[in-house]
Structure 1
């Protein structure tokens, strides 16, 4: 019984809607702008802060909103430790990693030459210490997926369920918004390929744990690449 997807009634017991998602996005943008204005080109540590903190703050806003206007992330997002969800996330994430790797190779070969990720572009010329490189690795691999999932397939998905939109609609729209919100127009199609398996994990389980795990699995290779790049073990 506990491993069944949440029902539409369960998903609508919270009291937050689309405004919650926009609030988290606004915090992300505001923190990014404030850090850029305050730190500017202050070195590698400043760059790491500008990459890490906006995402963490947005994720924190998602948690606070569920506590104030809902039942907490465990119930509202289905962010619970269940081996069935972890297994589903690992399986779908593994499949997604394969499809993403193939899509990335094809995109690198035939896509626009300037289509590089924002994080990768910022780190190309950065001289990071091993400690800072590990921080970026752990953030991209583990922390960013958790925060992003709480915002996109937590707040946004939950808002659409509260409006009584179908789960399939929530999957399609959250996937599209996730890809577009990265503000990398040249890579939007590739980001859609990356986002689809992650959304599928949320769709089939009805809970966020599976999509977080799938997202983390999918981010492992890019995170490892950034680590090796930052340490000078891969060419820029």
Structure 2
């Protein structure tokens, strides 16, 4: 068995719809080590979100092995945090109470952890604010803090910045990297944005169109902090774009994308 934190072997996922059976994922093999930041890119419908849901334990109807620390993932748990594209905050709770969720802020340990997370996501001074009083980026920072509260072994992020404007999105990428550098939480981040994938990750996983298969895994050996306009960054972007387009073209040639 692999010593990686997350081990995926021969993952295959199919589901039924009113129009028949959909083959969402096929032959996924992937190891992710503790402390890694991995991004996953691919066209719409290639199974990126499905892959995250399986890792989170939200979807268990699949074949193959998906394990955390060598143990098959049996369902949701505090060892796996999840951040969705929408912030999903409780509108009637303040920032600090949204982060604490079902735990009481009267507990000193919870109070201290929430205070530290508020500082970590740069929301000091907004503890008593309600979601309606926050910008989109601030609301997502609350979501990230809530997902980190119980010290998950892996944080799963499903296009969390997809609905943000370009300036806020760029800022949130910096915030997330600061959190990762501070906590060294293993992160798996789904995105459609190649620049975002390169800017954040140690490795970029490229999925082919349905059924989702790993087309290639590209290491990102650029030092942090990264500059998107830098020659090395743009060179890697060009390489990944070629890989991405090649995967799509091969799929159409095979007839699977028709």
TM-score (norm 1): 0.27
* Greater per-residue strand proportion: 2
Of the two structures, which has the highest relative contact order with CA contacts closer than 8 Å and spacing of 6 or more?
1
TM-score (norm 2): 0.25
Answer with 1 or 2: which has the greater Rg.
Answer: 2
